[in-house]
Amino acid sequence: MKNFFPDKVLSLHCDSLTKPTAFVRTYGCQQNFADSEQLSGLLQAMGYGFVTSPDTADLIIFNTCAVRENAEERVFGNVGALKKLKERNPNLTIVLCGCMFQQEATAFNFKKRFPFVDIIFGTANTGRFAEFLFRHLFNGEKICEPRGEFDTEFDEDKPVKREDKLSVSIPIMSGCNNFCSYCIVPYVRGRERSRSADAVVSEAAAAIAEGAKQIMLLGQNVNSYGNGFTRLLSQIDSLEGEFFLDYMTSHPKDCTKDLIDLTAQSEKITRRLHLPVQSGSDRVLSLMNRGYNRTRYLELVRYAKEKIPDLSLTTDIIVGFPGETEADFADTLSLIEEARFDSAYTFLYSKRSGTAAAELIDDTTADEKAARFKRLLEKVSEVGLERYQSYVGQTLRVLFNKPQSGKSRQGITVEAATNRDLTGTFADVTITEAKKVSLIGALTN
Ligand code: 5AD
Ligand code: SF4
C-alpha cells in the first residue's frame, strides 16, 4: 500500500504542492483506536498529513462506537456540526465509519439526515477504505456500505500510523463469540478471529526495536486467542529489553490459572488485571449470559491476589440491567467490597436493539437506576481510595509518558516530585500520598 496514488490525491485537494490533511476522531474502545491507526496509516501512505482540528482538514474521519446509546448521541451532534465546514470547503471529504455504521438502519438514517457526508461504512468494510476513497475522489460517488462480510483472516500488510510510539497497542484478535445478552459487539464486530502468533510477535519486536516501552495486546476476549494466549504472552515476554507487557480484555469465564502463574513469574507483564465482572448477582450474571457466577469470579480473584501480591484489580460494572432488583444490586456492592477493586468503569445499562436483553422487561424506574448508579460510584471510590492508600510506602516501577508523571506497573497514574524530564524512561517511585485517581511519590534514588 505504499505511495498509493499520492499525486492525484494531492492535485484533487490542493492548488499548491502542500500535503492534503486529515483529521481522525475516534470514539470507544482500544480496538477502535487500533482501527483508526490503520486508517491513518493508509492515509499517510497516500500522502496525507495530519491535523489536530477538523477546521482546516481536507478529510475528516469519525470512527464511531455503538456500545452504549450515549456514545451514539455524541456522534449525532458532532456530525451535524460538520455541515458548516462542508459549506465553507466543498472539497472536504467527510467519512463516517466504525461500529455504529455496521448497523444498517443507523447508516441509512445518517445518509438521509446528513446528505453532506461522503463516505459511510461499517467495521466489516474497514479494509475497503482505500477503494471507497478512490471511488469518491475520482468518480464523485457517495458511498454508504454498512453491509459486507467480515474477513476471516487478518490482512497483515496494512500500514499503521501509531499515535503513541512509547505505548504501542497491537490487536491480536478481532470480533467476539460470547453474546453477553446486553452487548452489541458480536453484531458489529463479527465472529472471533485471531492473528498468527508470528505476526504478533514480530510486530511487538519491531515496536520495541523502535523504542516502544509498553506493549498492549488487544482483543475483546484475549483468553480465547486462537493459538493459546499464555503461550503468545510468554513468547513476547521473552523478547529482549525493558518494557511493560499488558493486555485487554480478559474474560472471567476463560481466564486461566496458567495466565496468572505466568504473570506472577514475569518481569515484564503488568501487575494489572482488568477483569470485567458486570454484576455481583448470580441471577443477573446468568441473565447476562456471562458464563461464570459470583463464587467462581471471587475464587479467581483470590487466586490472582495470592499469586501476585502487588496486583491491581480493575473491572467493568453495569447497573440497571433489566429486572435488576435491590437485592441484586446489593450483591454488586458487596462484591466490590470482597474483590477490592482499585478502580472500576461503571455504566448505566443501555438497551441495544438486536441483543437478547433488549427483549427483557425492564421495570426499574430511571430515578431508581440513577440512585443506584450514585451509590455504585460511592462504593467504587471508597474501596478504590482505600486500595490506593495501601500503596503509600511502597516503591513502584513507573514508565514516564510525561516529564513528571507516568503509569506504574499496576497501570496507576503516578506523579513524581522532580525537576527532571523523565519522559520515555522507567524509574522507581516511592509513594507518599494517595489521591482519588493517582498516586504521588518521590524518585527512589
Ligand atoms: N449497556 C451498558 N454498558 C455496556 N457495556 C457493554 N454493553 C453495554 C450496554 N448495553 C459495558 C460493559 C463492557 C464495557 C466495555 O461496556 O461493562 O465491559
Ligand atoms: Fe469497541 Fe465495542 Fe465500541 Fe466497537 S462497539 S468501538 S468494539 S466498545
CATH number, span 7-145: 3.40.50.12160
Q: Chain centroid to CA 289: how far? A: 22
| Cα–Cα distance, 181 to 278 (Å, whole number) | 12
**Grid cell in block for residue 120:** 459511510
Q: Strands, E, within 82-192: which ranges?
A: 93-98, 119-121, 143-145, 167-171, 173-174
The alpha carbon of 121 and the centre of ligand 2 are apart by a number of angstroms equal to 15
- Tell the residue nearest (CA) to atom 3 of ligand 2: 65
* pLDDT confidence of residue 13: 52
CATH number, span 164-270: 3.30.750.210
| Cα–Cα distance, 51 to 40 (Å, whole number) | 11
30, 68, 184: which to mutate for ligand 1, most atoms within 8 A of CB?
Answer: 68
Residues 6+ apart with CB under 8 A from 290: 180, 252, 253, 278, 279
CATH number, span 274-390: 3.30.750.200
Q: Report pTM.
A: 0.93
Atom of ligand 1 nearest to the CA of 352: 10
Sign for the CA dihedral angle at 303, 307, 310, 314 comes to negative
Write the burial class of residue 83 (CB in 10 Å: 0-12 exposed, 13-18 middle, 19+ buried): middle
The alpha carbon of 289 and the centre of ligand 1 are apart by a number of angstroms equal to 13
- Tell the residue nearest (CA) to atom 2 of ligand 1: 349
276 lines ligand 1 (CB under 6 A): yes
26, 67, 176, 178: which to mutate for ligand 2, most atoms within 8 A of CB?
Answer: 67
Cell numbers 487478518 correspond to: 154
Q: Chain centroid to CA 429: how far? A: 28
Residue 342's beta-bridge partner residues? none
- Tell the residue nearest (CA) to atom 13 of ligand 1: 316
99, 169, 218: which to mutate for ligand 2, most atoms within 8 A of CB?
Answer: 99
Atom of ligand 1 nearest to the CA of 348: 2
65 lines ligand 2 (CB under 6 A): yes
DSSP conformation class of 153: S
- Tell the residue nearest (CA) to atom 1 of ligand 2: 29
Of 320, 366, 344, 338, the closest CA to residue 437 belongs to 344
Of 324, 330, 331, the closest CA to residue 348 belongs to 324
Q: Strands, E, within 102-192: which ranges?
A: 119-121, 143-145, 167-171, 173-174
The alpha carbon of 220 and the centre of ligand 2 are apart by a number of angstroms equal to 9
318 lines ligand 1 (CB under 6 A): yes
Q: How far is CA 401 from CA 47, 359, 426, in A?
A: 29, 45, 9
- Tell the residue nearest (CA) to atom 7 of ligand 2: 185
Ligand nearest to the CA of 75: 2
97 lines ligand 2 (CB under 6 A): no
339 lines ligand 2 (CB under 6 A): no
* pLDDT confidence of residue 17: 63
- Tell the residue nearest (CA) to atom 18 of ligand 1: 316
The alpha carbon of 33 and the centre of ligand 2 are apart by a number of angstroms equal to 10
- Tell the residue nearest (CA) to atom 6 of ligand 1: 183
279 lines ligand 1 (CB under 6 A): no
The alpha carbon of 276 and the centre of ligand 1 are apart by a number of angstroms equal to 10
**Grid cell in block for residue 398:** 513507573
Atom of ligand 2 nearest to the CA of 29: 1
The alpha carbon of 381 and the centre of ligand 1 are apart by a number of angstroms equal to 20
34 lines ligand 2 (CB under 6 A): no
Q: What is the chain's pLDDT, residue by residue, as a tens digit (445 residues)? A: 333 444 444 445 544 468 899 999 999 999 999 999 999 999 999 999 999 999 999 999 999 999 999 888 999 999 999 999 999 999 999 999 999 999 999 999 999 999 999 999 999 999 999 999 999 999 999 999 998 889 887 778 788 999 899 999 999 999 999 999 999 999 999 999 999 999 999 999 999 999 999 999 999 999 999 889 999 999 999 999 999 999 999 999 999 999 999 999 999 999 999 999 999 999 999 999 999 999 999 999 999 999 999 999 999 999 999 999 999 999 999 999 999 999 999 999 999 999 999 999 999 999 999 999 999 999 999 999 999 999 999 999 999 999 999 999 999 999 999 999 999 999 999 999 999 999 999 999 7
The alpha carbon of 254 and the centre of ligand 1 are apart by a number of angstroms equal to 18
* pLDDT confidence of residue 52: 95
Atom of ligand 1 nearest to the CA of 276: 18
Determine the angle formed by the axes of helices 30-45 and 129-139, rounding to 10 degrees.
50
Atom of ligand 1 nearest to the CA of 182: 10
The alpha carbon of 71 and the centre of ligand 2 are apart by a number of angstroms equal to 10
